């Protein structure tokens, strides 16, 4: 899933594919440019809380060489991408939990027990 693309943004941000089963290990690719040193892949656990002040400080420390070139819009887009990524990972993991619970459902509502005698 892509959050931002090059056409109207300085960012290219997307949820990286990973084999993890841990929500905090999911990775957001937040690329400021196409140079390797501008391509940051960040585990969820290392992302700032999605409030502008937090994201602004994080961008300054993470993209220090390019931070002064970022507009207010660039910073806002980064905050939105982080917010959407956090929401998407939460929704994805909640859905995985629901699917696991549904797969465990034996049709007996958890209180009844079937026996071979019932089938006679």
Give me the tens of pLDDT residue by residue for the chain, a chain 120 residues long.
667 776 788 899 999 988 899 999 999 999 987 777 788 999 999 999 999 999 999 999 999 989 999 999 999 999 999 999 999 999 999 998 887 887 776 565 555 555 555 555
- pLDDT given at position 82: 96
Helix, strand or coil, per DSSP, at residue 100: helix
Structure tokens at 72: 């207010």
Domain parsing of the chain, residue ranges: 2-93
Q: What residues contact residue 3 under an 8 Å CB cut-off, 6+ apart?
A: 11, 13, 14, 15, 80, 81, 84, 85
- pLDDT given at position 96: 87
The answer to whether 88 and 1 are in contact (CB under 8 A) is yes
Helix pair 72-104, 52-62: axis angle to 10 deg: 100
pTM above 0.75, yes or no: yes
- pLDDT given at position 35: 73
- pLDDT given at position 31: 92
- pLDDT given at position 111: 54
């Amino acid at each position: 899933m892509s959050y931002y693309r090059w056409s109207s943004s300085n960012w290219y941000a997307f949820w990286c594919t990973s084999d993890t089963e841990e929500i905090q290990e999911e990775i957001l690719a937040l690329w400021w440019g196409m140079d390797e040193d501008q391509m940051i892949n960040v585990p969820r656990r290392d992302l700032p809380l999605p409030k502008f002040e937090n994201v602004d400080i994080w961008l300054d420390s993470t993209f220090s060489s390019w931070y002064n070139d970022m507009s207010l819009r660039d910073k806002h887009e980064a905050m939105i991408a982080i917010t959407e990524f956090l929401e998407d990972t939460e929704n994805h993991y909640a859905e995985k939990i629901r699917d696991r619970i549904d797969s465990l459902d034996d049709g007996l509502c958890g209180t009844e027990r079937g026996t071979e005698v019932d089938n006679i």
